[in-house]
């Protein structure tokens, strides 16, 4: 009997072999230093420690990408402090159990069921029960020892699967929703912070009433702050990015009992997912091995400040700063550690407690979205001073606003404050364009120059001066102060909000922002660009427009639409001016200027930057620019509610931020076209040297004109010079050849190493150069139908999609033969004589 007992004990405590496997059998254990790896090597399960944390968790992560990315966590609320004393087992009762084994205890940290000691009385599961980590990232406990074929799939009994219990990540093939009959309710919950996978404040759930839509909730599910809108059979109403074609939605017919939604990637082998971030934003991302990072395609809601409570009590959100949350004067983060870990939901606390009597106020200018919970004060509070007094005499009052007509006061903590240009208020929030909220603070925190401080000093003086004299002096001071304020406001101009984060500036405000147009950055299409700053100090670039004939109503409508477009590779439109024929666009300022400044050698570019700021871009930087611009164009073409054609893609319209990342500028000058891409655009023209044949032939203009211009841009990124610039031939000192001709020939010969800018000192990746040249040649095909979409270009540059060797465009053949540089392009033979004409002359003739 003793021998049998020992054998049984050994059987039920089997450990994994040292080689990687994907399956646990009944009684088998996974030790702390062992992992399960899916059969195709896509996913791995084991212990991990997030960030710099010394706590460990059982999780699933991507196995085949260079950045460890966890997609599922088992023991979210019960971290492992001593990893060497734990193991995972598929118990004899058929459930997965994670134990923290210590000499004096065997604590259960997590189980795939609500198993307890009473479970031993249940009938044992079939001996074929196994737990398998599948190649789609799903950990499945099923009664089948072998992987079922499609014909036997119906016979498999799934006892439990991780796809039914997601954490913060939604993988392709997983279902989100509920099946009330089987008791399944799958929804996403954010991590608490970047180093703590415990359930955070935000969740994404399917509509409980049976509608085909998702809601983003805050405060542990207490408050909805964003919704996808109802599924229309192709996309969710509020997610136009779904038209991009990167994934396909698969809805389940919703009813009172079942309401599920799943999706799949259209690209075989693509690595992508949805992730609910700790700040409450739902992010769609795709892995790029070329870039070595996750590429963000879209986030919902677009504005992080639209997430309710993301900055916590008394926190102020700004979509123009990084990080977005900050504490106002007199307040500090309640938890510096949580804020460091990107979780600011704890909010801000007071530096000094309120004293009730003797408190004062600090003003938050430009707070145009005020928190909910306000109460209108009595009619007697007709001005700002009376409104402040109403709040001060009530010890529970924490803030007030006077909008010029009414007084609003708040009691308790203020949540969801935003300082930016946003006048549209959700959920009944008070909306006052240009309103200033005054926060109550202890007397020691009141600025010496504040109205409250001055008022207290005046009260002391009033006690020692004759009432009539004091009233006269106070009146004079008030008149002078009001006059000075009005004069200052008139000098500075007016800044108001129009929609979302878009500002409307009058012309005086534009002059103030640019210091009367004193610092010129450069000249571009339709106007001159000047450096400036918004009233809050944010640096901007102001484009003073010239020669526009658009009506004011149409101009405003188009600019407001463009102001809603935000993408990491597009220069953000901050605001605009439309005052008679004085018009300007206000963009984010890009510290490193335009691409042509750094790409072309002195004299060949026309950028506005000085030589002292000129930086020779490495091949890696150029390749990242190419991918970034492609993503920006793909967003304009495919992911906006209506296709936007740029029409003027060139180095001068590509700006570089502080990290040398590419931002596409001047898309605000393009026309919006509907879904009928055959619309003819007759009023816009691009730049000579980047024009597609359609422009010259007066043919209908589509998004493929941008593809053509982008292809020519790629050639310039490779060579480091203008395509149209005459330069010495690489052969026998000819007068020069058109670079795309030379590149197309060399590409077909299989020799692209000589095409790279000589300043790179052979630092370029030859395979990447070849890929860029292939994509460029496809982009400049004569027939627009032969050119790829920008979405496909992004995939090709990122290495997600293959790119075949393209045919040499007939236009290049014409240029080559007219220029006398190629006898027979199809045989790839360069002439040995000097070219008969310059490249520029040949282009002009054609």
Does residue 648 have an active-site annotation? yes
249: pLDDT confidence band, cut at 50, 70 and 90? low
Any alpha helices (H) in 395-503, and if so which ranges? 451-462, 467-492
Give me the pLDDT at residue 292, please: 82
Closest CA to 191 of 166, 225, 215, 172: 166
Element (H, E) at 818: helix 810-819
**Residues facing 332 on adjacent strands:** 349
**Structure tokens belonging to residue 370:** 């005020």
Q: Which of 416, 648, 666, 782 is catalytic?
A: 648
Per-residue CA distances from 663 to 567, 570, 606 (Å): 9, 5, 18
Q: Residue 610 pLDDT > 60, yes or no?
A: no
Q: Residue 452 pLDDT > 60, yes or no?
A: no
Q: Residue 72 pLDDT > 90, yes or no?
A: yes
Q: Residue 288 pLDDT > 70, yes or no?
A: yes
Place of tokens 């990084």: 322
Give me the pLDDT at residue 479, please: 56
Question: Is the separation of the CB atoms in 136 and 172 below 8 Å?
Answer: yes
**Structure tokens belonging to residue 259:** 């309401």
Give me the pLDDT at residue 497, please: 67
Q: What residue ranges define each of the domains in the chain, with the CATH number in brackets?
A: 11-161 (2.90.10.10), 166-302 (2.90.10), 309-433 (no CATH), 478-589 (3.30.200.20)
**DSSP secondary structure string, 3-15?**
HHHHHHHHHHTEE
CA–CA separation, 542 vs 589, rounded Å? 9
Give me the pLDDT at residue 11, please: 42
Closest CA to 441 of 296, 347, 324, 331: 331
Q: Is 118 helix (H, G, I), strand (E, B) or coil?
A: helix
Q: Which residue has the higher pLDDT, 384 or 146?
A: 384
**Structure tokens belonging to residue 786:** 């032969």
Q: Residue 117 pLDDT > 70, yes or no?
A: no
pLDDT in tens, 523-575: 766 788 999 988 878 899 998 887 666 667 777 777 877 887 888 899 988 88
Query: What mean pLDDT do residues 178-202 have?
Result: 91
Closest CA to 192 of 225, 216, 168: 168
CA–CA separation, 458 vs 472, rounded Å? 13
Q: Residue 699 pLDDT > 60, yes or no?
A: yes
| Share of residues in the chain with pLDDT > 70 (%) | 71
Q: Residue 61 pLDDT > 90, yes or no?
A: yes
Give me the pLDDT at residue 94, please: 86
- Whether the upstream peptide bond of residue 687 has omega within 30° of 0, thus cis, is no
User: What dihedral angle (degrees, nearest 10) is formed by the CA atoms of 14, 19, 23, 26?
Assistant: -10
| Highest averaged pLDDT of the listed ranges 175-189, 422-436, 687-701 | 175-189
Question: Is the separation of the CB atoms in 756 and 786 below 8 Å?
Answer: no
Give me the pLDDT at residue 153, please: 47
- Whether the upstream peptide bond of residue 323 has omega within 30° of 0, thus cis, is yes
Q: Residue 724 pLDDT > 60, yes or no?
A: yes
Backbone angles phi, psi at 422, to 5 degrees: -140, 110
Sheet order of strands, 325-326 included: 325-326, 316-317, 417-418
Give me the pLDDT at residue 603, please: 44
Backbone angles phi, psi at 161, to 5 degrees: -150, 145
pLDDT in tens, 737-784: 678 888 888 888 888 888 998 888 678 889 999 999 999 999 999 888
Give me the pLDDT at residue 382, please: 75
Q: Which residue has the higher pLDDT, 140 or 737?
A: 140
Give me the pLDDT at residue 628, please: 94
Q: Are strands 407-411 and 397-402 parallel, antiparallel or unpaired?
A: antiparallel
Q: What is the mean pLDDT of the chain?
A: 77
pLDDT in tens, 487-499: 554 555 677 766 6
pLDDT in tens, 347-373: 999 988 888 888 888 887 655 567 777
**Structure tokens belonging to residue 817:** 């033969």
Give me the pLDDT at residue 843, please: 42
Per-residue CA distances from 451 to 296, 407, 536 (Å): 46, 17, 21
CA–CA separation, 315 vs 417, rounded Å? 7
Place of tokens 């620019």: 625
Q: Which residue has the higher pLDDT, 5 or 38?
A: 38
Extract the annotated binding site for ATP: 544
Q: Residue 690 pLDDT > 50, yes or no?
A: yes
CA–CA separation, 307 vs 216, rounded Å? 9
């Amino acid at each position: 009997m003793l021998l049998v007992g020992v054998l049984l004990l050994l059987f039920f405590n089997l450990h994994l072999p040292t080689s990687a496997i994907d399956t646990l059998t009944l009684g088998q254990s996974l030790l702390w230093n062992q992992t399960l790896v899916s059969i195709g090597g896509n996913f791995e399960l084991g212990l991990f420690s997030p960030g710099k944390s010394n706590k460990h968790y059982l999780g699933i992560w991507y196995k085949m990408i260079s950045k460890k990315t966890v997609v599922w966590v088992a023991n979210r609320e019960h971290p492992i402090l001593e990893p060497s004393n734990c193991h995972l087992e598929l118990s004899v009762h058929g459930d997965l159990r994670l134990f923290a084994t210590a000499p004096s205890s065997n604590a259960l940290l997590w189980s795939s069921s609500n198993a307890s000691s009473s479970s031993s009385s249940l009938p044992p599961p079939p001996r074929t029960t196994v737990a398998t980590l599948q190649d789609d990232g799903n950990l499945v406990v099923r009664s089948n020892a072998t992987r079922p074929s499609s014909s036997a799939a119906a016979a498999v009994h799934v006892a439990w699967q991780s796809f039914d219990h997601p954490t913060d990540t939604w993988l392709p093939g997983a279902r989100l929703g509920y099946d009330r009959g089987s008791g399944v309710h799958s929804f996403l919950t954010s991590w608490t912070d970047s180093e703590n996978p415990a359930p955070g404040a935000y969740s994404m759930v399917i509509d409980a009433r049976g509608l085909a839509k998702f809601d983003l909730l805050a405060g542990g599910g207490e408050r909805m702050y964003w919704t996808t809108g109802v599924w229309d059979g192709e996309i969710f109403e509020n997610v136009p990015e779904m038209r991009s074609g990167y994934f396909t939605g698969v809805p389940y017919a919703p009813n009172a009992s079942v309401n599920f939604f799943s999706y799949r990637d259209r690209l075989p082998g693509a690595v992508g997912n949805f992730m609910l971030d700790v700040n409450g934003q739902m992010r769609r991302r795709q892995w790029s091995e070329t870039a070595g990072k996750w590429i963000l395609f879209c986030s919902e809601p677009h504005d992080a400040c639209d997430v309710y409570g993301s900055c916590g009590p008394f926190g102020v959100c700004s979509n123009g700063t990084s990080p977005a949350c900050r504490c106002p004067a007199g307040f500090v983060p309640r938890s510096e550690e949580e804020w460091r870990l990107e979780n600011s939901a704890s909010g801000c606390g007071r530096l000094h407690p309120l004293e009730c009597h003797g408190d004062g106020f600090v003003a938050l200018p430009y707070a145009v979205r005020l928190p909910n919970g306000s109460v209108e004060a009595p009619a007697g509070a007709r001005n700002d001073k009376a409104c402040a007094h109403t709040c001060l005499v009530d010890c529970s009052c924490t803030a007030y606003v006077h909008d010029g007509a009414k007084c609003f006061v708040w009691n308790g903590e203020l949540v969801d404050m935003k300082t930016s240009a946003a006048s549209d208020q959700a959920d009944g929030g008070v909306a006052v364009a240009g309103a200033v909220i005054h926060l109550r603070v202890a007397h020691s925190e009141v600025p010496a120059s504040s109205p409250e401080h001055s008022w207290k000093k005046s009260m002391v003086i009033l006690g020692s001066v004759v009432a009539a004299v004091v009233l006269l002096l106070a009146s004079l001071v008030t008149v002078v102060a009001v006059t000075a304020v009005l004069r200052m406001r008139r000098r500075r101009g007016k800044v108001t909000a129009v929609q979302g984060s878009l500002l409307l500036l009058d012309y005086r405000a534009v002059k103030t922002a640019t210091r009367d147009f004193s610092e010129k950055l450069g000249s571009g299409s339709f106007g001159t660009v000047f450096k400036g700053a918004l009233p809050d100090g944010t640096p901007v670039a102001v484009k003073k427009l010239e020669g526009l004939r658009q009506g004011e109503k149409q101009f405003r409508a188009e600019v407001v639409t463009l102001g809603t477009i935000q993408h990491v590779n597009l220069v953000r439109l901050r605001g605009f001016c439309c005052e008679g024929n004085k018009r300007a666009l206000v963009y984010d300022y890009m510290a490193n200027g335009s691409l042509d400044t750094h790409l072309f050698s002195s004299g060949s570019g026309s950028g506005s930057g000085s030589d002292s700021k000129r930086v020779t871009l490495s091949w890696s930087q150029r390749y990242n620019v190419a991918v970034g611009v492609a993503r920006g164009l793909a967003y304009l073409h495919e992911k906006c509610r209506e296709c936007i054609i740029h029409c003027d893609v060139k180095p001068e319209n590509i700006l570089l931020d502080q990290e040398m990342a590419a931002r596409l500028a001047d898309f605000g000058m393009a026309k919006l076209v509907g879904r009928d891409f055959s619309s003819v655009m007759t009023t816009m023209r691009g730049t000579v040297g980047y024009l597609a044949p359609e422009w010259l032939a007066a043919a209908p203009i589509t998004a493929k004109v941008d593809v053509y211009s982008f292809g020519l841009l790629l050639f310039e990124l490779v060579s480091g010079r203008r395509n149209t610039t005459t330069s010495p031939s690489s052969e026998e000192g000819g007068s020069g050849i058109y670079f795309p001709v030379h590149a197309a020939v060399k590409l077909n010969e299989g020799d692209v190493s000589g095409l790279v800018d000589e300043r790179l000192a052979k630092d370029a990746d030859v395979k990447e150069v070849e890929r860029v040249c292939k994509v460029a040649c496809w982009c400049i095909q004569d027939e627009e139908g032969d050119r790829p979409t920008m979405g496909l270009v992004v995939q090709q540059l990122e290495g997600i999609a293959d790119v075949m060797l393209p045919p040499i465009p007939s236009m290049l053949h014409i240029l080559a033969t007219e220029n006398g540089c190629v006898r027979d392009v199809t045989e790839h033979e360069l002439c040995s004589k000097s070219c008969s004409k310059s490249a520029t002359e040949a282009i002009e003739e054609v």
